[in-house]
A and B are shown apart, each in its own frame.
Chain A
Amino acid sequence: MALEDRNRVVILEDRVENVSGAEFPLSFDGQETAFNMESFRDSFDIKIIRVTPTDIEFDLIGVDASIANALRRVLIAEIPTMAIEKVYMINNTGIVQDEVLAHRLGLIPIKADPSEFLWKHDGSVPTDQNTIVFRLDVTCEVNRAAETGETDPKIKYINSAVYSSQLVWDPKGDQGVRFESNPIKPVHDEILITKLRPGQTISCELHCEKGVGKDHAKFSPVATASYRLLPEIQILEDITGDDAELFRSCFPPGVVDIVEERGVRKAKVVNPRKDTVSREVLRHKQFEGKVRLTRVRNHFIFNVESTGAIPPETLISQALDVLVEKCEISKTALAAAVKNGEEDE
């Protein structure tokens, strides 16, 4: 296999080729393929492309898929957040049943720094160190101010819809002081919890606890955490004229441009990163043999969207922390195993 191809995933019309990495010794005869700290140091890079309050896009370059995937998996499943775990229903005469209401409440992302809280283990008592308490007391009434012919329930009734903004944080212990600057509340104010009609009441106490995404999706701090490999488009043979137009239309806007060279309109790849790898170009007979689609195997374009509970950049560093911690565990376990092995001998 050609040296430069070793690092590429090849996109064919009907299959993906060369999917697995070969960063281990003796993958290829006579070639040095084993992991090498030196070269890793040279090639490894993290480029942050875009950061918004909820999203982050960054490139992770020069690592194996297992590392990138571990990061992704940790993001989804192992970063702790706070979420409503227990609902003490005092009264609920609304149409949504207790357990369904509780389920809905549980899925509301809570803006609270989980590192400020302890794990609440089975059997332990709720304290101000491991539990956040919210209260939800809503009663729907007829709005006397509304005109008589009014049909819109939002005007006709008061509290006809219950939103996440109506969750009231009830600080316990020193929580009021600890979070004075950053009061605990749901991330979004407009999450519809339920609808009520006059006479219906909901009264409950909600306890948030610390948890991780692998126990329940509500604890997952990310909405999406995924990566894709950097696409590459190689034009093997010039594509000109009308074919160039067609070629351009096979990619999302901005990927391919048409340049004029010596009076010939020619397709030129400008920004392969924008390509969605829809393989549309491979469907056209006229491009057969003229184009090659590949992806860079060790260039991961990460896209992480936070639920809002934890800022996206913090998420990444937390995920790396978790990853390091896991490595430590593995390391000690390995060391112990090696030691045991030696003893056995």
Chain B
Amino acid sequence: MEIDSQTATGHFQHQRLNGGSINNAEVLLGTGSGSINEKNLTDPIPTVEDKWQLLPAFLRVKGLVKQHIDSFNYFIEVGMKKIVKANELVTSDIDPRFYLKYTGIRVGRPERTDPDAADRLIAPHECRLRDMTYAASIMVDIEYTRGKSRVIRKGVVIGRMPIMLRSSHCVLTGSSEEDMARMQECPLDPGGYFIVRGTEKVILVQEQMSKNRIIVQVDGKGFTSAGVTSSTDERKSMSYVFMKKGKLYLKHSMISEEIPLVVVLRAMGMTSDKEIAQLIAGVDPFFLDLLSPTLEEGAASKLFTQRAALDYIGPKTKSMGRRPGVARRPAYEDALDVLGNVVVAHVPVNGSDFRAKCVFLAMMARRVLQAVSNNNKTDDLDYLGNKRLELAGQLIALLFEDLFKRFNSDLKINVDKVLRKPNLAREFDVHSQLMCHGDLITQGLSRAISTGNWSLKRFKMDRAGVTHILSRLSYIAALGMMTRISSQFEKTRKVSGPRALQPSQWGMLCPADTPEGELCGLVKNLALMTHITTDDEEEPIKRVAYALGVEDVALITGAEMHAPNTHIVFLNGLILGITRSAQRFVRQFRTLRRNGRIPAFVSVFIDDHRKTVNISADGGRICRPVIIVEKGVIRVTTEHIQQLLAGKLQFDDFLRLGLVEYLDVNEENDCMIAIYENEIKPYTTHLEIEPFTLLGAVAGLIPYPHHNQSPRNTYQSAMGKQAIGAIAYNQLNRIDTLLYLMVYPQQPMVKTKTIELINYDKLPAGQNGSVFVMSYSGYDIEDALVINKSSLDRGFGRCQVMRKFSTLVRKYPNGTHDRLTAPPLLPDGTVPERFKFIDDDGLAPPGTRLENGQAYMYKQTPVDTSGNPDSTTIEAPRETQYRMTPMSFKYPDPGYVDKVMVTTSDTDQTLVKFLLRQTRRPELGDKFSSRHGQKGVCGIIVQQEDMPFTDRGIHPDIIMNPHGFPSRMTVGKLMEFVASKAGAVKGELQYGTCFGGSKMEDMCRILVENGFSYTGKDYVTSGTTGEPVGAYIFTGATYYQRLKHMVADKMHARARGPRAVLTRQPTEGRSRDGGLRLGEMEKDCLIGYGASMLLLERLMISSDVFEVHICETCGYIGYKGWCQMCRSSKSMVPIKIPYACKLLFQELQAMNIMPRLVMEDI
């Protein structure tokens, strides 16, 4: 049986294996002996009841955004220390005795920066409100010389680190719900983001190709090449071994041309052809044949010694920032340097022992040969096992390392500057220098996070858009953002591979949740149970591997390496050695991991094609937990689950007891995972915890998604994020730029398990509406909905829009400052209508109802804000002149002042924030959607008495046109409909969980028991005629979401209005009260129709008509009746042209082009 481990997932293999006989499977697994008797096999496998309960247990310990938090915690607790350790010493070029050594680093708790604050700890919500950064001090312990003495200082602050919410250093971690309430924080908020200058910023998960792994592909020129991206702390580089005309070469950006592989190996000290041949091809005559042209070329090159090869390579290397003044070194040293430090840099070189590197290059060469011999079968770049996810922790680590290095080099420059002075007044204390650099790290971090620009010169990294503002449109939008993965692929390339759904995404990435359009398939979302690994220590794993019988690669020859029944063991892409019994090795390795002797996230799998065993312990691998099955026995039993429910066991205990383990994508493909208990066969190794976890958090909201056409689930995944609802428990304490809230949100009648797990039932976004599926009135075509007016009267779909308006009361350098005051009175002593709500403090109080044009804040700004304070003489302080700068309400519908906040910001300026609120009932054109990608606008609002009604007097809230169903094939919606109705009739909630949920038979039975039709279709009477409707109408309930697109925000028309200053044409856009453009295509219509006068009117008369006077003699534009050019008024004619045309002529004149207008009678 051949298993293509690169493309098929465990499930696919499983299906294939299901067809095979049991004997076959036994042979495959080597279980061989008759230990499994036929009797046991036919016994039904006991199901584990409520095994899905592992899911909430998992989410309790891991949470939905745990990957972000884990990654950040790893950086704060481990990564930072490593970075400091690597850059611990600062010395001086001037004073050899001077040194500064960092002996430790740690991050404190988030604190206020206000100097006189009594309570220093700060809660995140205050940062949001006051536009501050939620950050904690970075403290280092240092040891340095002052004169001749050694000084030790502890806890020196070198900057401030923005703290991820809910990370180990966040004040919210471990807080009870009461504490959260006190801090005005929502206990359901996932955390995992930063607050920088008052805005919530998320660092999206970035998807990349994995580092330090050999990937075989066909390159641009059609050569089969094995490439590896080496990544070490110092540098990143790409090395390729490729086959050109049957010969192998090495290519690297630091070497200007391709070097024959044999020459490279010789330069690395491997001068024997036999050794080379064995290392690459083993004793396989087929590979040896393939290799012979390469060896012949090596022989033809006449470079037989290491020195000769190095001399050949030397001149072809590119200089690596050679410092001027330093003597030029011989070419062979250049070559040695490049080969040692740059080519496949991640393979360590021990002094001058290049063997490990030779073996690695040989391995790359072997991969090329394998690919060439196997019909150019290359690696699948889109296979998820070849990808790594980069998280906030890694990105901040890169940034911090860069900043820390810069901090140290700046410090060194300054230290040198001071020490260069011949005689210092005092002994030089570096501590003072350290203090004055505090801003570099603070600013660097907060600027990068708030702009999203990650530019690191060292790694040639210049990425924009790394961070995004956390969308708070709805709870789901925020949650969806935290699980989002953005790909580094260019979206302009027209390749479908990276966008397509990969079979290896099963259970790891959500198959439904991806945007439509240009980013389709490039932006993905994590599935519910996914976890992303952080780095694990390699050294202990290496020791375990050797202890389990791996023979060190340094001690064996190529012939042994490639011998049959021998597998090469890799650890994080590095060759560790060989094992002669791979199955046993892997089995033992996994046993150790299940016993907790090896970290849980270390994965191991056998690649039978390449005859390798791959151990991975690097960060960024995607993995998920599954239940372990051994010899057909499920390790998790019902008793375990009961203990879990009783609180005696946690998820981590399941891990510790070896009942459950994490599998990464590669290992998953080396396993046989059964989805249900009844699929367990003797060769099954694992059992899914719950199949519905293959969907993500957002797609998990859809009831019965497994009955929908797949794009509908994708549409809903996009729309669920636009639904108006409850945002967080602290939603009324927030002052966000734009906030949409629903007045009466309801949890859906048809829930899913995911809904409960992500607390959507506590922060819902929608309402259950009574729906009739029928055509009504003709205002329901094209998905438009008919809505019951009385339902709207009673509050259906009612929502609120909150907008923030803020202003700074500035202080200016000349000593003047803005002021908030009572508005000026009219001559008759009354307050102007516009300012009538403004109090003496210049602010409108909360509760004020504002009409269009009314001011809610009255501020005065000094006319002159420039200059210095000293310029005004002391004896006659001039009266400062002020002009008024009020802020007015600019919406046609009235609004209310919800909140006014006056505070000081980080920079000690007074900050005033207004929250204005509008409550909106649905109107014609507002957008609604069910949870099945079925959006529609409100087409008509109908009186209740005109609505059809059932025998029981039930009127619909919404009438939906049945034409929405046939082409969309959203059967899930029909099922939700019936389940909702049954639930409502029986008085209980129903479930529509993916691959499960309430059964339709049960739902229909409930309906029949309660006197409804089995079909869900009822006898209905028309509300207008009073006669029965000739067809039975599908009546029921559906969860409807109100989407954020509302007519009130979009409607726009204008007759006359503002014009642009430069062109005198009408302005553009609704926000500027712009005109409605008669565009290119409309113009063509008018031309085609021959409506020339209409065209003239639309394009000129109603736009920017302008009268110019043209001199018929010279053809230039003159004044009224006077040509300045001809100095005459003889032949002036007035004509009408667009102002933009006149502008063009003058602009042309300005660049020495003289356009002349020739006048002619027609």
Known pairs A76-B945, A280-B1013; A15 contacts B1032 (CB<8 A): yes
Contact of A77 among B944, B1027, B1032 (CB under 8 A): B944
Known pairs A97-B917, A283-B1014; A217 contacts B789 (CB<8 A): yes
Contact of A216 with B by CB under 8 A? yes
Question: How many Å lie between the Cα of A224 and that of B950 in the bound state?
Answer: 11
Query: Which residues of chain A are within 8 angstroms of B794 by Cβ–Cβ distance?
Result: 107, 217
Contact of B662 with A by CB under 8 A? no
Question: How many Å lie between the Cα of A99 and that of B898 in the bound state?
Answer: 11
| Extra pairs beyond A17-B1030, A97-B898 (4, CB < 8 Å) | A77-B945, A226-B1021, A228-B1021, A277-B951
Contact B1013 A278 (CB under 8 A): yes
Query: Which residues of chain B are within 8 angstroms of A218 by Cβ–Cβ distance?
Result: 793
A258-295 CB mask vs B (1 if < 8 Å, else 0) is: 00000000000000000011111001000000000001
Give min CB distance, B1160 to chain A, whole Å. Answer: 63
Contact of A68 with B by CB under 8 A? yes
Contact B790 A92 (CB under 8 A): no
- CB contact list, B910-946 vs A, under 8 A: 917, 919, 943-945
Contact of A43 with B by CB under 8 A? no
Contact of B304 with A by CB under 8 A? no
Contact B1012 A276 (CB under 8 A): yes
Contact of B953 among A68, A95, A103, A303 (CB under 8 A): A303
What range describes how many residues of A lie at the interface? Answer: 35 or more
Contact of B743 with A by CB under 8 A? yes
Question: How many Å lie between the Cα of A68 and that of B1027 in the bound state?
Answer: 10
Contact of B919 among A15, A100, A214 (CB under 8 A): A100
- CB contact list, B200-237 vs A, under 8 A: none
Query: Which residues of chain A are within 8 angstroms of B800 by Cβ–Cβ distance?
Result: 97, 100
Query: Which residues of chain B are within 8 angstroms of A283 by Cβ–Cβ distance?
Result: 1014
Question: How many Å lie between the Cα of A279 and that of B1032 in the bound state?
Answer: 11
Query: Which residues of chain B are within 8 angstroms of A73 by Cβ–Cβ distance?
Result: 945, 1023
Closest to A223 in B: B953
Question: How many Å lie between the Cα of A236 and that of B898 in the bound state?
Answer: 69
Contact of A20 with B by CB under 8 A? yes
Closest to B1019 in A: A277
Contact of A66 with B by CB under 8 A? yes
Contact of B949 with A by CB under 8 A? yes
Question: How many Å lie between the Cα of A252 and that of B1013 in the bound state?
Answer: 12
A65-106 CB mask vs B (1 if < 8 Å, else 0) is: 110111011001100000000000100100101111001000
Contact B1026 A280 (CB under 8 A): no
B contacts, CB < 8 Å to A: 732, 743, 789-791, 793-795, 798, 800, 847, 896, 898, 917, 919, 943-945, 949-953, 1007-1008, 1011-1014, 1019, 1021, 1023-1032
Query: Which residues of chain B are within 8 angstroms of A95 by Cβ–Cβ distance?
Result: 732
Known pairs A97-B917, A100-B743, A226-B952; A278 contacts B1008 (CB<8 A): yes
- CB contact list, A230-264 vs B, under 8 A: 252
Query: Which residues of chain A are within 8 angstroms of B950 by Cβ–Cβ distance?
Result: 226
Q: What are 25 pairs between A and B in contact, CB < 8 Å? A: A9-B1028, A15-B1030, A15-B1032, A16-B1029, A20-B1027, A65-B1026, A66-B1025, A69-B1025, A72-B1026, A73-B1023, A95-B732, A97-B917, A103-B795, A214-B943, A216-B793, A217-B793, A220-B790, A225-B953, A226-B949, A227-B1021, A252-B1011, A277-B951, A279-B1019, A279-B1032, A283-B1014
Contact of A99 among B791, B896, B1012, B1014 (CB under 8 A): B896
Closest to B793 in A: A217
Question: How many Å lie between the Cα of A76 and that of B1026 in the bound state?
Answer: 14
Contact of A329 with B by CB under 8 A? no
Question: How many Å lie between the Cα of A213 and that of B732 in the bound state?
Answer: 33
Contact A280 B1014 (CB under 8 A): yes
Closest to A280 in B: B1008
Give min CB distance, B774 to chain A, whole Å. Answer: 13
Question: How many Å lie between the Cα of A218 and that of B1021 in the bound state?
Answer: 24
Contact of A11 with B by CB under 8 A? yes
Closest to A283 in B: B1014
Question: How many Å lie between the Cα of A224 and that of B790 in the bound state?
Answer: 12
Give min CB distance, B1014 to chain A, whole Å. Answer: 6
Query: Which residues of chain B are within 8 angstroms of A277 by Cβ–Cβ distance?
Result: 951, 1019
Query: Which residues of chain A are within 8 angstroms of B917 by Cβ–Cβ distance?
Result: 97
A13-25 CB mask vs B (1 if < 8 Å, else 0) is: 0111101110000
Question: How many Å lie between the Cα of A240 and that of B1027 in the bound state?
Answer: 35
Closest to B949 in A: A226
Contact A278 B945 (CB under 8 A): no
Query: Which residues of chain A are within 8 angstroms of B791 by Cβ–Cβ distance?
Result: 217
Contact of A184 with B by CB under 8 A? no
Query: Which residues of chain B are within 8 angstroms of A21 by Cβ–Cβ distance?
Result: 1027
Contact of A229 with B by CB under 8 A? yes
Known pairs A19-B1028, A65-B1025, A276-B1011; A226 contacts B945 (CB<8 A): no
Known pairs A14-B1032, A278-B1008, A280-B1014; A217 contacts B790 (CB<8 A): yes
Closest to A252 in B: B1011
Query: Which residues of chain A are within 8 angstroms of B1012 by Cβ–Cβ distance?
Result: 276, 278
Query: Which residues of chain B are within 8 angstroms of A77 by Cβ–Cβ distance?
Result: 943-945
Give min CB distance, A178 to chain B, whole Å. Answer: 30
Query: Which residues of chain B are within 8 angstroms of A14 by Cβ–Cβ distance?
Result: 1032
Question: How many Å lie between the Cα of A73 and that of B1023 in the bound state?
Answer: 8
Query: Which residues of chain A are within 8 angstroms of B952 by Cβ–Cβ distance?
Result: 224, 226
Contact B953 A226 (CB under 8 A): yes
Query: Which residues of chain A are within 8 angstroms of B1013 by Cβ–Cβ distance?
Result: 278-280
Question: How many Å lie between the Cα of A66 and that of B1023 in the bound state?
Answer: 10
Question: How many Å lie between the Cα of A95 and that of B1013 in the bound state?
Answer: 44
Closest to B1011 in A: A276
Give min CB distance, B1013 to chain A, whole Å. Answer: 5
Known pairs A89-B847, A97-B919; A278 contacts B1011 (CB<8 A): yes
Which are the 9 A-B pairs with shortest beta-carbon distances?
A69-B1026, A226-B953, A276-B1011, A217-B793, A217-B790, A65-B1026, A224-B953, A228-B951, A73-B945
Question: How many Å lie between the Cα of A69 and that of B1012 in the bound state?
Answer: 23
Question: How many Å lie between the Cα of A73 and that of B1028 in the bound state?
Answer: 15
Give min CB distance, A339 to chain B, whole Å. Answer: 30
Closest to B953 in A: A226
Question: How many Å lie between the Cα of A100 and that of B920 in the bound state?
Answer: 10
Question: How many Å lie between the Cα of A5 and that of B967 in the bound state?
Answer: 40
Give min CB distance, A230 to chain B, whole Å. Answer: 11
Question: How many Å lie between the Cα of A299 and that of B742 in the bound state?
Answer: 44
Known pairs A225-B953, A276-B951; A68 contacts B1032 (CB<8 A): no
Query: Which residues of chain A are within 8 angstroms of B1032 by Cβ–Cβ distance?
Result: 14-16, 279
Question: How many Å lie between the Cα of A220 and that of B955 in the bound state?
Answer: 14
Contact B847 A98 (CB under 8 A): yes
Query: Which residues of chain A are within 8 angstroms of B1024 by Cβ–Cβ distance?
Result: 69
Query: Which residues of chain B are within 8 angstroms of A15 by Cβ–Cβ distance?
Result: 1030-1032
Give min CB distance, A121 to chain B, whole Å. Answer: 21
Give min CB distance, B899 to chain A, whole Å. Answer: 11
Question: How many Å lie between the Cα of A216 and that of B793 in the bound state?
Answer: 6
Question: How many Å lie between the Cα of A9 and that of B917 in the bound state?
Answer: 53
Known pairs A98-B847, A98-B896, A276-B1012; A214 contacts B945 (CB<8 A): yes
Question: How many Å lie between the Cα of A20 and that of B1030 in the bound state?
Answer: 9
Contact B847 A92 (CB under 8 A): yes
A33-52 CB mask vs B (1 if < 8 Å, else 0) is: 00000000000000000000
Give min CB distance, A219 to chain B, whole Å. Answer: 9
Query: Which residues of chain A are within 8 angstroms of B1023 by Cβ–Cβ distance?
Result: 69, 73
- CB contact list, A200-217 vs B, under 8 A: 213-214, 216-217
Query: Which residues of chain B are within 8 angstroms of A214 by Cβ–Cβ distance?
Result: 943, 945
Question: How many Å lie between the Cα of A103 and that of B1027 in the bound state?
Answer: 35
Contact A97 B896 (CB under 8 A): yes
Contact B1029 A19 (CB under 8 A): yes
Give min CB distance, B423 to chain A, whole Å. Answer: 68
Give min CB distance, B759 to chain A, whole Å. Answer: 21
Question: How many Å lie between the Cα of A84 and that of B243 in the bound state?
Answer: 86
Question: How many Å lie between the Cα of A266 and that of B1013 in the bound state?
Answer: 25
Question: How many Å lie between the Cα of A238 and that of B943 in the bound state?
Answer: 47
- CB contact list, A91-142 vs B, under 8 A: 92, 95, 97-100, 103, 107
